[in-house]
Amino acid sequence: MSDSSFIDSKVRTGQRRIEALVLGASAGGLQALAEILEGLPADFRLPLLVVQHIPADAPSRLAEVFALKTALRVKEVDDKDALSPGTLYFAAPDYHLLVEADFSLSLSQDEPVRFSRPSIDVLFESAAQVWGPHVAGVLLSGASDDGATGLHAIHLAGGLSIVQDPLEALVDTMPRAALARFTPDYVLPVKEIHRLLCKLETSHV
């Protein structure tokens, strides 16, 4: 599925317009995320919402670190944040991140899901409910099965489902959990995921 001509032909078909990107990562995922974001322009049209599994008992430096790695605006989510184009949002430590019906972002301290808070499943399932076929979900390297259910929800809602190639992932448990659950639209190495996101930003799919 990683063939470039396959991506080109698939992105040119259909009429959906992607309005947001949601990404989930755990162990080994930060390197993959950095490679995916590298080179995205400051005027990138889509908001990107990220759940990276992080310790609950310490401040997160993800926004600070990634602000040095990308031209996008980067911030840790505050409750009731409004979505802005071309902004990279990171879930806060020990809070689930959700998308609300009015396209604002909310934080929740509901019980952990798949032993995780923030949970990738929680973000992905809320994104599927709000955007339906107009969201793309990306599941990266990780050591748990968090994200498989949520990515499947995006797939069932008609959105695009993208999984990092488990042969490339530093920790392949998370990608393989998704593949065991359903057949996603794309299974790609991170360089091809980057290329696909650039296509989604300008294309109907």
So which residues are the catalytic ones? 26, 53, 146
- Cβ burial of 159 (10 Å; 0-12, 13-18, 19+) is buried
Is the peptide bond prior to 112 cis by the omega test (within 30 degrees of 0)?
no
